[in-house]
A and B are shown apart, each in its own frame.
Chain A
Amino acid sequence: MISEKDLIARLSNKQSCIVEFANNRFLLDASGTLFWPDFDLLIFSDLHFEKGSFLSQFANPLPRMDTRKTLDNMQSVLAIYQPKCVVCLGDSFHDGNAISRMEIGDIELLNSMVNSVHNWQWVLGNHDPEIPKEIAGKSFVSLTQNNILLVHEPEDLKKINEDNKNTQSITAQIIGHFHPKMRTKQSGHSMSGKCFIVAKDVLLMPAFGQYTGGLSVDDSAIKSMITDNPAQFLLYGQKIFNMR
C-alpha cells in the first residue's frame, strides 16, 4: 500500500484525488487508474494489448510498440501504489490471437508483474472473452466488493439483485468499455483528454492502453447510462482535475 507521505504528495501535486462513490472512498489517479484503499486494490481498465499488431495485419505499417509502452506505464503505477490486489477491468487483450503476436519479452514482463502482486484478477471484456493460458492470474466475468460490482460493460443491477436475494445488494458498478474522453473550454482555451465519470451508481474508467481512442462524454451511449449530473475528472498532462 502507498505510504501516507507519498499519498499526500500525490494529492497535493494533483496527481490523485479522493472521491466518494456509493459510500466507498476511492483515489482517482492521473495515470487513469483507480485505487480502492479498503481492499488495497488497484484497477486498470481497457489495456488493449497488441492493438498495434492487430491493426498491422490490415496493411497499416504501425509501430508495434504499444504493448511494451502500456506495460511500462503499468509498472510505474504499480511502483507507486504497491497494491496487494490488482483488477484489470476487461479488454486487456485486444483480440483472441493477441497472445500469439505478443513478444516473448513482453509476456515474461507481464507475468512477472502479475506474480509480484498477491492477487491479480482479470475481468473479461468483449475483446477478450478469455485470458490466454500463458498468462498468470485468475479470470472472472465480474467481481463484487462491498456493494459495488466490478464489470467491463454495464449490468442491470436490479436484475442481479433479484437473482441473488441472499447476498448484500449491489447499489453501484465500476465499468470500463467506453473509454470516456472530455473537452473543456477555459477563458477561450480548449483542453481535452481522457476522463473518469463518477455518477451516483456508476463509475466509468478511462482506457489505460497506449493505442486507445476515446468516446466523448456527450455521446448518447454514455449519456443514456447516467441519470444524475455526474462528476468528471479530466486527465491532463500528469495531473487530474475535477471538472464536475
Chain B
Amino acid sequence: MRPHLSPKRVDIGLMKSIPDNFQRWFEQRGWALRPYQKKMVNAFRKNQSTLLIAPTGAGKTLSGFLPSLIDLAQQEQKGLHTLYISPLKALTHDIHRNLQQPIDDIGLTITVAARTGDTTSYQRQKQRKNPPNILLITPESLMLMLSYADAPRIFGKVKAVIVDEAHSFAFTKRGDFTALALARLQYLSPNMTRFGLSATVAQPASLAAWLGVNGEPTDVLQVNSRVKPSIKILTSKERMPFGGYMGKYAVKDIYLQIAKAKTTLVFVNTRAQAELIFQHLWNENSQLLPIAIYHGSLSKEQRVKTENMMASGKLRAIVATSALELGIDWGDVDLVIQVGAPKGVSRLLQRIGRSNHTLDEPSKALLVPANRFETLECQSAITAIKRNELDGDVPMSGALDVLPQFIINCLCSAPADEEQIYQQVIEASPYGGLDQTTFNQLWQFTENGGYALQAYERYNRLQKREDGMFEPASKRVIMRHRQNIGTIVEAGRLKVKRLRRSHQGKIIGEVEEYFAQTLVPGDTFYFAGEVLKFEGIKDMMVEAKPGKAKEPKIPSYTGGQLPLSTFLADGVRELLNSPKEWKKMPKQVVEWLELQRSFSMIPSTNKVLIEQFPYRKTQYTLFYTFEGRKANQTLGMLATRRMERMGLKPLSFSITDYGLSISSIEAVTSAHLPKLFNPDILGDELEDWMLAAPMLKRSFRRVAIVSGLIEQQYHSTKKTMKQVTFSTDLIYDTLREHDPDHILLRVTREDAERELLDLQRLADMLIRFDQQFDFRVLSKASPMAIPIVLAVKSEQVKGQGAEDLLEQASLYQEAENMLQEVKDLLNPNGAGKTI
C-alpha cells in the first residue's frame, strides 16, 4: 500500500474530512488525500457500499482502509470492526506489513491480524477468543470462521468488509463462494458496509452488482489512469519457432533487457515455463545478476524469502507466474517482460501494472511471443490496449455445487431450517435467481444424498431436531466439512524434499502426482531453479538430490494453464486479414504468414479454413474457427462424435482460442465435410453424448468434491487425486445409470457449461458458416497449424479409434487359427471334471 507521491499541493479543503492526526501523517509523507479517498470516507459514514475501480499505484488499498482507520481512531472499539478479504494469502501478509505503518506512525491503538490457511492453530484460537479490530483473511478462512458457533459474537459488530482484487475472482466459483460468505456476514451484521477494490474492468456495473446485496449494485467510484503503458514486442535476432510455448529462443535478449533495467518482472504463463526460463537465464548470467524464481508450487518459506528480498531491493529480476500478478507491492520495478502470449487484455494490463507503481508515468512492458502465432496475439493485445478495449469475465448464475457446502457451513454454526438458509442464499447476487425447487433438491442432497433408491436415516448428514430445525448429524460431519471448505480443486500434489544425506533434507515445494509417477530413480528434473536427481517416493514425498544433467525433465502442472480470453481471438482474425498491419510485426512472422499463404492459405473472414494432413502416424484435421476456446471445445466434442459415427475413428482433439485440431485414424475428405461441419451436429443426441464425454467426468469430479460428495481432505491426510479420480468416474457412471435425474448430474452439466462449453457461440458460427469453408488437403502440417497441433493438452476420445490403436499394438491370433484351439478348450481330456 503506497499512496501516490503527488507533486501537487495538499488541498486543505479536502482534508477537513479526516482527523488532524491523519492529516499530519499525510503531510509528513508529502502525500495528498485524493478526492476518491475522501469519497470512500464519506461513503462509510453514510453506510453506502461502494466499488472503487482504480489502476495500480493509485493508493487503492489505503482508500479501502482509511474509513475504518479513522472510525477506529475516533472511537476506540473492542472486537472485530473491519474484515479485509483477499484472494491471495501472500497479499494478506503484504497488506499487514503496510497497514501497520500508518497505525504505528499515527500512534493508534488499532489491532490487526492476518488469518489464512498458514495461520498456526494457537493464533487461530487467540483470534477467535479475542478478535482484532481489523482481520485480513482469505474467503476460505472466512467461511471456516463462519462455521463456528461463536460466529455471531465475532462477526456481529463488523462495520465494513473490504474485498480486494474483486475483479480477479468475482465471476468464478470462488466468487460465488465469497458472495455467499458476504451474505452470511450481512445476516450476522445487517449494517455492514461493503467495499470492493478492483483494477480497471470491462463492465463495472456487473462487478458492482456482484458486490451488492441482492444484486442491487453498489456505488461505483472510477479512477482513470492518466497515461497509457508503453508496450512493445521484443525483437530477437534468434530464429522464432513455429510452435512451442516456452520462449526459450529469446532468453539472451531477455537477459540483455534485465541487465539494462533496474528491476524486472519476467511473467510467464506456466510454472514449467518459469523453471525453464529461469534456468536458461542463469546459463546466460555472465554478470551474476541476482535473479529469482517465484511460483505457486514452491514452498512457503522459499516464496517468503523471495518476497522479502524483492521488497528490500536485493533482486534485479524475478521470473514469476500469475502467483505474483495481484496487488503485492514490489517497489521499484521499472520493466515488465511477458514471455508467451498474454492470453487476455485485462490480464496483460494487470501484469504491466506491476511496473512503475505510480499513476503519472507510463508503465513499460515488453512482450515476448513464444512462437509466431503468438506474435499475432501480442500485436492484437497491443492494439486493444491502445483502443482502450478490455476483455472480461461475464457474470453467470451461481455455481450450485457450492450450496451444499454453504448449507452445512451455516448449520455447523447454528441450527436452522430450509427457509432461513434459502433466504440468505438468495441475498447473494449470483444466487438471486435461484428457485426454491432447485434449492430444495440441493438441501435433500445435503441431508441424505438425495438418491431416488435409498434413504437410510443412519447415513444422513443432517438431522432434524424436535423444533424443526436442522443440525449436522455428527461431529464427524462437522469435522469433515471444515477440512474440505473451498472451491479450489487441485490436482494431487507431492511435496519435494531436497536431500542432503540419507533421508534428511528440506521441503522445497510440490510437484503434481502425475509428474512424480513418470519419474524413475536417476531421472533429473528442474525444480525451484535447480536440477534435481530423483531418488524415490517415500512417505508421500518426492526425494531428490541436487544433480547435473544435459536435459532434465520439466514438471508439468495441469492447473498451471492460463484460461484463454475469447476476446483476443477476434483481434487475431482481424489482424490476419489486414496485411497492411503485418509490417508492425517482426520480419520472421511476416515470412511465416507468407509461407502459410503459399503452402495453404490465410484464413479469410467469410469462410472457415479447414486443413487436413498426416502427422505422427495419424490424420489431423484443423478447423480455424477463431471462436474462442469454449466454442472450439464444444465443436471438438460434437465433431468427434460425428466422426465416430462416420467410421473415421477419431482419437483425440486439442483446442486453442483460434482453432480445433482433431486426430483420427482415417483421413477426413471433402466428401465428409458437408456432413461434419454442419449445424445439425448440434442435434438431438447432444445431451447424451455430452454426459458420456470424459470432460463431463472431470466436471463431475470437481462438483463431487465441492458439493461434499467425496472429500479432498480428511483427517488431514490428503486423499491422493488418483484415488479420487477413479472413484468419481465410477460414481458418475453408477448415477447416470441408476438415478439419471439426480441433482448432481444437473449441477455437473451446468458446471460444464460454465467452464467448458459455449453452445450459443458455436451454434451461431455453424449457422453463419454453414457449408462456407475452404478445404485444403496438405502433405504435412501447415506453418499455422503447428502451434495448434502441438497444444499441450488434448481430449481423448474413447471409441473405435483408440481400440484400433490398441489392436495394432496388441498381440492377437486370427480367429480362424483359433478354431482348433477352441475345440480343444471346450472338449478337454477328462471334460466335465468338477471341483
B711 within 8 A of A: yes
Q: Judging by beta carbons under 8 Å apart, are A58 and B805 in contact?
A: no
Q: Judging by beta carbons under 8 Å apart, are B834 and A186 in contact?
A: no
Q: Judging by beta carbons under 8 Å apart, are B454 and A64 in contact?
A: yes
Q: Judging by beta carbons under 8 Å apart, are A69 and B480 in contact?
A: no
Contact of B453 among A62, A65, A118, A211 (CB under 8 A): A65
Most chain-A CB neighbours within 10 Å: which of B617, B809, B811?
B809
Q: How far is the CA of A239 from the CA of B826 in the complex (A)?
A: 22
Please, which residues of chain B bring their CB within 8 A of the CB of A12? 815, 818
B671 within 8 A of A: no
A21 within 8 A of B: no
Contact of B806 among A56, A216, A241 (CB under 8 A): A241
Please, which residues of chain B bring their CB within 8 A of the CB of A161? none
Beta-carbon nearest neighbor of A218 in chain B: B517
Q: Judging by beta carbons under 8 Å apart, are A37 and B826 in contact?
A: yes
Indicate with 1 or 0, residue by residue over A207-234, a CB within 8 angstroms of chain B CB atoms.
0001101101000000000000000001
Q: How far is the CA of A57 from the CA of B807 in the complex (A)?
A: 43
Beta-carbon nearest neighbor of B477 in chain A: A59
Within A163-198, the residues touching B (CB, 8 Å) are: 184, 186-191
Within B404-462, the residues touching A (CB, 8 Å) are: 445-446, 448-451, 453-454, 456, 458-459, 461
Within A1-39, the residues touching B (CB, 8 Å) are: 1-2, 4, 7-8, 11-12, 14, 17-18, 25, 27, 37-39
- Residue count of chain B within 8 Å CB distance of chain A: 71
B490 within 8 A of A: no
Q: How far is the CA of A160 from the CA of B81 in the complex (A)?
A: 74
Give chain B nearest CB distance to A144 CB in angstroms. Answer: 9
Q: Judging by beta carbons under 8 Å apart, are A189 and B835 in contact?
A: no
Beta-carbon nearest neighbor of B449 in chain A: A61
Please, which residues of chain B bring their CB within 8 A of the CB of A65? 451, 453-454, 734-735, 737-739
Contact of B738 among A56, A63, A84, A184 (CB under 8 A): A63
Q: Judging by beta carbons under 8 Å apart, are A62 and B822 in contact?
A: no
Q: Judging by beta carbons under 8 Å apart, are B709 and A61 in contact?
A: yes
B714 within 8 A of A: yes
Q: Judging by beta carbons under 8 Å apart, are A214 and B726 in contact?
A: yes
B823 within 8 A of A: yes
B802 within 8 A of A: yes
With A61-B459, A214-B726: A11-B818 Cβ-Cβ less than 8 Å: yes
Q: How far is the CA of A101 from the CA of B422 in the complex (A)?
A: 34
Beta-carbon nearest neighbor of A61 in chain B: B449
Q: Judging by beta carbons under 8 Å apart, are B618 and A187 in contact?
A: yes
With A37-B828, A191-B802: A59-B474 Cβ-Cβ less than 8 Å: yes
Q: Judging by beta carbons under 8 Å apart, are A69 and B815 in contact?
A: no
Indicate with 1 or 0, residue by residue over A106-144, a CB within 8 angstroms of chain B CB atoms.
000000000000110100000000000000000000010
B541 within 8 A of A: no
Please, which residues of chain A bring their CB within 8 A of the CB of B112? none
With A184-B809, A188-B616, A234-B806: A8-B709 Cβ-Cβ less than 8 Å: no
Q: Judging by beta carbons under 8 Å apart, are B822 and A61 in contact?
A: no
B708 within 8 A of A: yes
Please, which residues of chain A bring their CB within 8 A of the CB of B803? 14, 236-237, 239
Please, which residues of chain B bring their CB within 8 A of the CB of A213? 722-723, 726-727
Q: Judging by beta carbons under 8 Å apart, are A189 and B805 in contact?
A: yes
Within B786-835, the residues touching A (CB, 8 Å) are: 796, 798-799, 802-803, 805-813, 815, 818-819, 821-826, 828, 830-835
Please, which residues of chain A bring their CB within 8 A of the CB of B818? 8, 11-12, 18
Contact of B735 among A63, A190, A214, A236 (CB under 8 A): A63
Please, which residues of chain B bring their CB within 8 A of the CB of A237? 798-799, 802-803
Q: Judging by beta carbons under 8 Å apart, are B834 and A39 in contact?
A: yes
Within B301-337, the residues touching A (CB, 8 Å) are: none
Q: How far is the CA of A70 from the CA of B454 in the complex (A)?
A: 17
A41 within 8 A of B: yes
Indicate with 1 or 0, residue by residue over A63-87, a CB within 8 angstroms of chain B CB atoms.
1111011000000000000001100
Please, which residues of chain A bring their CB within 8 A of the CB of B821? 18
Q: Judging by beta carbons under 8 Å apart, are A241 and B835 in contact?
A: no
Please, which residues of chain B bring their CB within 8 A of the CB of A40? 832-834
Q: Judging by beta carbons under 8 Å apart, are A61 and B445 in contact?
A: yes
Q: Judging by beta carbons under 8 Å apart, are A216 and B734 in contact?
A: no
Q: Judging by beta carbons under 8 Å apart, are A145 and B730 in contact?
A: no
Q: Judging by beta carbons under 8 Å apart, are B807 and A241 in contact?
A: yes
Please, which residues of chain B bring their CB within 8 A of the CB of A190? 796
Contact of A66 among B446, B734, B739, B807 (CB under 8 A): B734
With A63-B739, A85-B835: A191-B709 Cβ-Cβ less than 8 Å: no
Give chain A nearest CB distance to B832 CB in angstroms. Answer: 7
Q: Judging by beta carbons under 8 Å apart, are B809 and A63 in contact?
A: no
Across the A-B interface, give the 9 residue pairs with the lowest CB-CB distance, nearest first: A61-B449, A12-B815, A241-B810, A186-B805, A65-B738, A56-B459, A241-B806, A37-B825, A213-B726
> Contacts A60-B711, A118-B834, A234-B806 given; 16 further ones with Cβ under 8 A?
A7-B826, A8-B819, A11-B818, A18-B822, A25-B825, A40-B834, A58-B480, A60-B708, A62-B731, A63-B734, A63-B738, A85-B835, A145-B835, A184-B809, A188-B618, A243-B809
7 residue pairs from A and B, CB less than 8 Å apart: A37-B826, A59-B473, A63-B735, A65-B738, A213-B727, A241-B809, A243-B806
- A residues contacting B by CB (< 8 A) are 1-2, 4, 7-8, 11-12, 14, 17-18, 25, 27, 37-41, 53, 56-66, 68-69, 84-85, 101, 103, 118-119, 121, 143, 145, 184, 186-191, 210-211, 213-214, 216, 234, 236-237, 239, 241-244
